[in-house]
Amino acid sequence: MARVPARCENVAASVRPKGPQIDPGSRLTIRLKAIMTLLAHIEGRELSVARKT
């Protein structure tokens, strides 16, 4: 599970729109980024909790 955030970041970086133009896909990428960051935060919390105990 610890590998997931890094992999997601790579995917988000590769999917990122390459210019300021707005297309229907950009909303999807924004949602993906938000989900990926949420997952990373959750994973980080789990890791920190595991370290404390």
Longest Cα–Cα distance in the chain: 47
The set of residues, in sequence order, having a beta carbon less than 8 Å from that of 12 and lying 6+ positions away, is 29, 32, 33, 36
Over the stretch 7-45, which tens digit does the pLDDT of each residue have? 555 555 555 555 555 566 777 888 888 888 888 888 887
Comparing 3 with 27, the larger pLDDT belongs to 27
Residue 6's pLDDT is 52
pLDDT at 15: 55
For residue 1, the model assigns a pLDDT of 46
Burial class (CB in 10 A: 0-12, 13-18, 19+), 45: exposed
How far is Cα 22 from Cα 46, in angstroms, rounded to an integer?
36
DSSP 3: T
For the full predicted model, state whether its pTM sits above 0.75.
Answer: no
What is the chain's alpha carbon radius of gyration, rounded to the nearest angstrom?
14
